[in-house]
Amino acid sequence: MTTGQISDPARGQGPASADQHACRRRTERALQAVAFDTIGARYGEAFPAKSGQLECGEWLLAELEPGAPVLDIGCGTGDPTIRQLTGGGLSVTGVDLSDGMLTLARRTAPAAAYHRMDMYDLGTERAVDAWGVPELGWQAAGTFAAATAFFSLILLPQDEIPVTLRRIRELLRPGGLLALGMVEADLDYAPLPFLGHEIRISGYLREELEQTLAGAGFAVESHSGHPYAPANTALPPEEQLFLRCRRTG
């Protein structure tokens, strides 16, 4: 389990002059992963309605050839996205920083490949040096036909989201697809109570989110909004945004 392992595997291996800000951010993300270890299956109970996510999955199944490689970023329990996409014949790799979530995902959708790593390290040397996953490092540029990120990027500060989107873009082949789920809110790493834990959430207003995607090299082909009130949590009602995007350039 992630519990007890607050830092990433490479902590302490860098030079003494390592960026302390980056180290602090990594530690914060790892602490959130510990919270999700504990939350486990209750996450699905808090968000039982998944129509927008499933619609995005149907779009990918219609657009992609059988066996096409798809990267699910922040895969959580694997339900519904990895279950849906592997069931439809796609080759899926799931990434999450929570060992507890990965354990559930392997039970839910055993046909996928799974890796524990920080999504901020996708497409970088740290994918190899810190996590031992070269197939998700810079060497993997142009590997994936599509990526999905449903309510995972919201766990990053706003300044890290465009960086992560650009790294995801580099992992996609030309014209590759991105299915994205976000919360429409003007929030930057704001602390919120969630199932007995405090997590930090970021969001964008719709126009700003589309501008952020365009700046990261994605064209938004369609989007939909779904009003939603999380069940059994203290979180307020929210507007969930689902965007279907394509890599440009």
Nearest to 93 by CA among 64, 135, 61, 156: 135
Which amino acid, residue 61?
A: L
| CA–CA separation, 69 and 94 (whole Å) | 11
34-56: average pLDDT: 86
Nearest to 112 by CA among 102, 122, 121: 102
23-30: average pLDDT: 93
| CA–CA separation, 79 and 82 (whole Å) | 6
Count of all residues that appear for the chain in the document: 249
pLDDT tier at 48 (50, 70, 90 boundaries)? confident
Which amino acid, residue 168?
A: I
Tens digit of pLDDT for each residue in 189-243? 999 888 888 999 999 999 999 999 999 999 999 999 988 776 656 666 789 999 9
pLDDT at 98 over 50: yes
What pLDDT was estimated at residue 29? 94
Give the contacts of 121 (CB within 8 A, at least 6 positions apart): 127, 130, 131
Contact, 122 vs 168, CB < 8 A?
yes
Give the contacts of 96 (CB within 8 A, at least 6 positions apart): 33, 74, 75, 76, 102, 105, 114, 116
What pLDDT was estimated at residue 103? 97
What pLDDT was estimated at residue 172? 98
Tens digit of pLDDT for each residue in 119-133? 999 999 999 999 999
pLDDT at 153 over 60: yes
Q: Collapsing DSSP states into helix, strand and coil, what is residue 23?
A: helix
What pLDDT was estimated at residue 136? 98
End-to-end distance of the chain based on CA atoms, in angstroms?
A: 40
pLDDT at 101 over 60: yes
